[in-house]
Structure 1
Amino acid sequence: MNHVPKFLVGAGIVLIVIGLLWMFLGRFINLGRLPGDIVIEKGSFKFYFPVVTCIVISVVLSVIAYIARQFMK
Structure 2
Amino acid sequence: MIILEYFEKLLIRIGLVCITVALVLSLLRRVGLNLGRLPGDIHIKRSNFELWFPITSGLIASVIITGALWLWRIVRRLF
The one-letter code matched in structure 2 to 1:22 is L
| Runs of 4+ more than 6 Å apart | none
The match for 1:19 is 22
TM-score (norm 1): 0.68
Which of the numbers 59, 69, 72 marks the counterpart of 1:68?
A: 72
The match for 2:3 is none
What are structure 1's unaligned runs of at least 5 residues? Answer: none
**Distance apart, 1:25 and its partner CA:** 6.5
By percentage of residues, which structure has more helix? 2
CA distance in 1, matches of 2:62, 2:16: 19
Structure with the larger RCO, 1 or 2 (CA within 8 Å, 6+ apart): 1
The one-letter code matched in structure 2 to 1:42 is R
Instruction: State the SS of the aligned residue for 2:35.
Output: coil
CA distance in 2, matches of 1:22, 1:35: 17
The match for 2:47 is 43
Q: CA RMSD in A?
A: 2.8
Which has the greater radius of gyration? 2
* 1:59 and 2:63 aligned: yes
TM-score (norm 2): 0.64
Are residues 53 and 46 of structure 1, via their aligned partners in 2, closer, same or farther at CA, if it must alter by over 3 Å?
A: same
**Distance apart, 1:37 and its partner CA:** 0.5
